[in-house]
Amino acid sequence: MAASSRAQVLDLYRAMLRESKHFSAYNYRTYAVRRIRDAFRENKNVKDPVEIQALVNKAKRDLGIIRRQNAVKIAPTQRPRGIPPQSVRN
């Protein structure tokens, strides 16, 4: 299997950010968006295709986790008092 291209990595990045915004809990939502951005930024200069593929695979697994956890909506949504809604900066 050929190593993931730049376009595929960017698609994955966008998909992860999109899914993360569905977290109903403020703390999970902000953490996911922040962590994904920082992780992709930190690894942007990795050149080794084997390492890139390992990182991509891990990201795909994490995307699966985010999707499954967003399906768990049995807990009431919550927002910290005093923090306005839609406060995740793009």
Partner 1 sequence: MLLRTAWRRAAAAVPVSPGPNSTAPTRGLRLRVVDHATQSDVPSATATAPQAESELRPLYMDVQATTPLDPRVLDAMIPYLVNYYGNPHSRTHAYGWESEAAMEHARQQVASLIGADPREIIFTSGATESNNIAIKELESAIQPDTSLVSVMTVNNEIGVKQPIAEIGRICSSRKVYFHTDAAQAVGKIPLDVNDMKVDLMSISGHKIYGPKGVGAIYIRRRPRVRVEALQSGGGQERGMRSGTVPTPLVVGLGAACEVAQQEMEYDHKRISKLAERLTQKIMKSLPDVVMNGDPEHHYPGCINLSFAYVEGESLLMALKDVALSSGSACTSASLEPSYVLRAIGTDEDLAHSSIRFGIGRFTTEEEVDYTVEKCIHHVKRLREMSPLWEMVQDGIDLKSIKWTQH
Asked if 55 is part of the footprint of partner 1 (rule: CB under 8 A), the reply reads no
Shortest distance, CB of residue 71 to partner 1, whole angstroms? 5
Shortest distance, CB of residue 80 to partner 1, whole angstroms? 4
Q: Rule CB under 8 A: which of 61-90 touch partner 1? A: 62, 65-83, 85-87
Measured CA to CA, the distance from residue 75 to residue 39 in angstroms comes to: 28
Q: Which residue has the tokens 């993931």?
A: 4
Structure tokens at 31: 């953490």
Contact 66, 32 (CB under 8 A): yes
Asked if 41 is part of the footprint of partner 1 (rule: CB under 8 A), the reply reads no
Measured CA to CA, the distance from residue 56 to residue 37 in angstroms comes to: 14
Closer by beta carbon to partner 1, 7 or else 71: 71
Work out the angle between the directed axes of helices 26-42 and 49-71 (0-180°, nearest 10): 170
Closer by beta carbon to partner 1, 31 or else 46: 31
Query: Which residues would be at the binding site for partner 1 (CB under 8 A)?
Result: 21-24, 26-32, 35, 38, 62, 65-83, 85-87
